[in-house]
Amino acid sequence: MTTADDTLPERLLKVAIPTGPSKGGVHRLPELLPQYYTERGWDAAGVPTPECLKNLGI
């Protein structure tokens, strides 16, 4: 698995929300994914770092 597999359906990434408080918005996955990887202890490719694996006892 690679970062290309960490995605959402295209409509959530490109089609704006038609109504409601989030009207006009789309999911910010490309912006948020690097932060998610960092919080998990993974590198930029979405792979657990050696330190993360050590902390997990793996």
Using DSSP's 3-state secondary structure scheme, residue 45 falls into coil
For 22, the token pair is: 């989030």
pLDDT score, position 2: 85
Q: What angle do CA 3, 36, 51 make, to 5 degrees?
A: 90
Taking only the tens place, the pLDDT of each residue in 16-32 is: 999 999 999 999 999 99
- Whether pLDDT at 49 is above 90: yes
Integer CA distances (angstroms), 10 to 26, 29, 31, 39, 53, in order:
10, 11, 15, 25, 32
Contact 42, 52 (CB under 8 A): yes
| Structural domain boundaries, residue 23 | 3-56
Domain count, the chain: 1
pLDDT score, position 26: 94
pLDDT score, position 57: 95
Predicted TM-score (pTM) of the model is: 0.74
For 31, the token pair is: 């912006």
